[in-house]
Amino acid sequence: MTAAPEELASELRAGDRRALAQAITLVESTRPDHRVQANELLDILCASSLSSSSRSEAAGSSQPTAKRPTAKRIGISGTPGVGKSTLIESLGLHLIEQGHRVAVLAIDPSSVRTGGSIMGDKTRMSELSRSSGAFIRPSASQGVLGGIANRTGEVISLVEAAGYDIIIVETVGVGQSEVAVASVTDLFVLLVAPAGGDDLQGIKRGVMELVDAVLVNKADGDLVNLAAHTATDYQHALSFLRPKNEGHVPPVMTCSALSNTGIEAAWTVIDKLWSTLAEEGLLTDLRSLQARQAFDREVEAILVHRVLESENLSSSYSELQVQVSTGSLAPSSAAATLSALLVR
Instruction: Kindly list the residues in this chain that would bind ligand GTP in the complex (CB under 6 A).
Output: 78, 80-86, 121, 124, 172, 217-218, 220, 256-258
Among 66, 74, 78, 85, binds Mg ion (CB under 5 A): 85
In the chain, the amino acid numbered 141 is S
Q: Which of 72, 73, 84, 244 binds Mg ion (CB under 5 A)?
A: 84
Decide: is 77 part of the binding site for Mg ion (CB under 5 A): no
The per-residue b/e assignment along 27-58, b for 16 or more CB within 10 angstroms, e otherwise, is bbbeeeeeeebbebbbebbeeebeeebbeeee
Nearer Cβ to ligand GTP, position 135 or 317?
135
Q: How far is the CB of 144 from ligand GTP (least distance, A)?
A: 24
The site partner of 80 among Mg ion, ligand GTP, none (C-beta below 5 to 8 Å per kind) is ligand GTP
**Greatest CA separation found in the chain?**
68
Whole-number Å distance between alpha carbons of 27 and 108? 17
| Phi and psi, residue 274, nearest 5° | -60, -50
Binding mask of the shown chain, residues 27 to 66, with x at each position contacting Mg ion by CB under 5 A: ----------------------------------------
Are 274 and 72 a contacting pair, CB within 8 Å?
A: yes
**Near Mg ion by CB under 5 A, which window of 62-70, 120-128, 143-151, 279-287?**
120-128
Query: Closest distance between ligand GTP and the C-beta of residue 121, in Å?
Result: 6
Indicate the residue among 41 and 263 with the shorter CB distance to Mg ion: 263
Distances, alpha carbon 13 to alpha carbons 39, 107, 164, 277, in Å: 17, 24, 10, 27
Of the pair 89, 154, the CB lying nearest Mg ion is at: 89
134, 92 in Cβ contact below 8 A? yes
Please identify, using beta-carbon distances, which residue of 188 and 317 lies nearer to Mg ion: 188
In the complex, the smallest distance separating the C-beta of residue 230 from ligand GTP, rounded to whole angstroms, is 13
Report the Cα 101 to chain-centroid distance in Å: 18
72 forms part of the interface with Mg ion (CB under 5 A): no
Least distance from C-beta 203 to ligand GTP, angstroms?
Answer: 15
* Closer to ligand GTP by Cβ: residue 73 or 84: 84
Which residue minimizes CB distance to ligand GTP? 83
d(CA 336, CA 203): 38
Report whether 97 contacts 263 (CB < 8 A).
Answer: no
Among candidates 229, 184, 175, 230, which has minimal Cα distance to 205?
Answer: 175
Residues in contact with Mg ion by the rule CB under 5 A: 84-85, 121
